[in-house]
Structure 1
Amino acid sequence: MTTILPDAALDALLAQDVPYGDLTTDLLGIGDRPARMRFAARGAMVLSGTEEAARLIVKAGGQIDSVAPSGTGLEAGAVFLESHGPAGALHRAWKMAQTLTEYASGIATRARRIVDAAPGVTVACTRKNFPGAKDLSVKAVQAGGAVMHRLGLSETLLVFPEHRAFLAAPPESWLAELRRKAPEKKIVVEVGSIDEAVAVARAGADVIQLEKLSPDAARAVIKATRDLTPPPVVAPAGGVTEANAAAYAAAGCRLLITSAPFFGPPADVQVTLEPA
């Protein structure tokens, strides 16, 4: 997993945190003292954002001795980043690098738990990330072994009930029109009941997105549509977590759509910054 945040974004993060110098370090007169800094996992986690953390340290004036890549699984106590340089440089980068890694690793860790709960099933995360943090969120999702469901509104066809409220024609009509206008796109339709799912599938939808339907409901939809050629992809969405991912997989679902990795506490990273 390579760095995806451009230098301009990292410069902006440093400017937010250290706009006019580090007053405490400067007034104490310790900025030129040689120092070392290391990051360690306080608990088991999947890393993400370590490349950006290392780059922040370098941009602040430090040097990197070692860094584990995003996607690495760690046990509690494992050191994953070591650096050295002037104390002033390491103090400038310390908190921003730590916080970025903690938030990104929290997302990656939750994504990995869902992936591990349903082996062989694709876990796709929605675009419901914190506004302004999409780049880092996407990287964290991928570090956890999941994929993105949608990066935005511009590249995928997903018909919600809120769209269908404006359509008077039957599903067969507007599905055919969508396919004529965008023949290279899969058409995803979100539904809220078994009957609606079956009707939309028989009308020609490629993917049926089940909004907050149970594993038993998903199994019923799969059973009722398996005679179609090809059968639709039945994808639960809304409320999919590590607690129920295995149940959806057992029901026959091969795609799980979730926002759960974005919501939860950050990972806990211990930083040691001391004289070299």
Structure 2
Amino acid sequence: MLTPAVIDRVVAAALAEDAPWGDLTSSAFIPDDATARAELVAREAGVASGLAVFAAAFRLTDPAITVTVLIEDGAPFAPGTVLAVVDGPARGILTAERIGLNLMQRMSGIATLTARYVAEVAHTRARIVDTRKTTPGLRVLERQAVRDGGGHNHRFSLSDAVMVKDNHLAVLTAGGASVTEALRTAMSTLPHTTHVEVEVDRLDQIEPVLAAGVDTIMLDNFSPDDLRRGVALIAGRAVAEASGGVTLETVRAIAETGVDVISVGALTHSARALDLGLDIRISAPDAG
């Protein structure tokens, strides 16, 4: 999903927001012919994500700038690691610096947090997935960061899969139809390739939902004991997904109930930006 065209669109919008009429400071104080070298340095340990996005910030600002990437997305790094080197016109480097850092710090923070969740559920059947609780306009970047951290993506948008939540069910059954009947009727209008997931918050909802032939059942805010009961009731007839109340402290116990998927909104809505810095040296033009 994170194609070069998508990267350029997101980064160009960010640059336009940050310098709509140019960089007044750099234009006034940095000589036009000054060059610089800058190193992207990790101030703390983490997992890399967004290196192509970081590089695009400089390329779109000034094509004369070169970015040499020294680590791959998804790779762990220690404090002090140089992740990339930037060379070229100093004005452009200073103009693009904040956007390049902002986006890569955000993505690397998500990748780092995701990797922690993935490590917590090691040797279970559960996969860690994200949710739609993303930053508007940055979803494609944040979803890539989850993958770089070893996680997986849920549906990308409202358009590519069905998720019937409690409010949908309330409207669907308001006319007196049973949950099973209402789901079957609605599903009959969908293409046969459409994945259908239904959220339940009680054990007694599982069988009527399964009877409709859905693909995934989301067990929302279930206790570990009820998750085990839910997995047993589903018995492989649908994918069992756990959601709600998932933290680094609880995710292992949730995974050990036997669920197939654990969706974690915190991966994108609560990840802390990783501390990365751009250490820059300005080269003045030669005299005479």
Q: Do both proteins adopt the same fold according to a TM-score greater than 0.5, normalized to the shorter chain? A: yes
Q: Secondary structure at the match of 2:6?
A: coil
Q: Is 2:246 the counterpart of 1:240? A: yes
Residue of structure 1 in register with 2:98 after alignment: 95
**Pair 1:35-2:43 in alignment:** no
TM normalised by structure 1 equals: 0.90
Report the alpha carbon displacement of residue 2 of structure 1 after superposing the two structures with TM. Answer: 6.0
CA deviations 1:217-239 (Å, max 9, x no partner) are 1111112332xxx5222211122
Q: Quick one: distance in 2 between partners of 1:261 and 1:4?
A: 25
- The CA distance in 2 between the partners of 1:214 and 1:76, in whole Å, is 38
Deviation readout 1:8-38 (Å, 9 max, x if unpaired):
3322222222222322222224342221111
Report the AA paired with residue 275 of structure 2.
Answer: D
CA deviation string 1:45-94 (max 9, x = no partner)? 11221101112112222112334332222122111111111211110111
The Cα of 1:154 is off from its aligned counterpart by 1.4
Cα contact 1:22–1:92 (8 A) shared by 2: yes
Aligned to 1:143: 148
Match of 1:121 in 2: 126
Which moved further from structure 2: 110-119 or 16-25?
A: 16-25
Residue deviations 1:148-188 (CA, integer Å, cap 9, x gap): 21211112121111011122211221232244333333321
What code does the residue aligned with 2:92 have?
Answer: A
Where in structure 1 do 4 or more consecutive aligned residues deviate above 4 Å?
1-4
Structure-to-structure mapping, 1:198-209, within 5 angstroms: 198-209=207-218
CA distance in 2, matches of 1:15, 1:67: 28
Residue 19 (structure 1) aligns with: 20
Q: Deviations over 1:101-152 (max 9, x none)?
A: 1111111111221112112422221111012221211221221222221211
Partner in structure 2 of residue 225 of structure 1 = 234
Q: Distance in 2 between matches of 1:206 and 1:19?
A: 47
Distance 1:258 1:175 in 2: 26
Q: What fraction of aligned residue pairs are identical, expressed as a percent?
A: 29
1:203 Cα deviation from its structure 2 partner: 4.8
TM-score normalized with structure 2 length? 0.87
Name the CA distance, whole Å, in 2 between partners of 1:233 and 1:66.
39
Range with bigger deviation, 124-133 or 9-18: 9-18
What's the RMSD between the two structures over aligned residues?
2.0
In the alignment, structure 1 residue 186 sits paired with structure 2 residue 218: no
Q: CA deviation at 1:43?
A: 1.3
In terms of mean alpha carbon deviation, does 259-268 or 65-74 score higher?
Answer: 65-74
Equivalent residues of 1:4, 1:135 under 8 A apart: no
- Matched with 1:162 is 167
Q: Indicate if the aligned counterparts of 1:235 and 1:254 stay in contact, CA closer than 8 A.
A: yes
Residue 261 of structure 2 corresponds to which residue in structure 1? 255
Give, in whole Å, the separation in 2 of the partners of 1:64 and 1:235: 41
- Larger mean Cα displacement after TM superposition, 264-273 or 56-65: 56-65
Q: Does 1:134 find its partner at 2:139?
A: yes
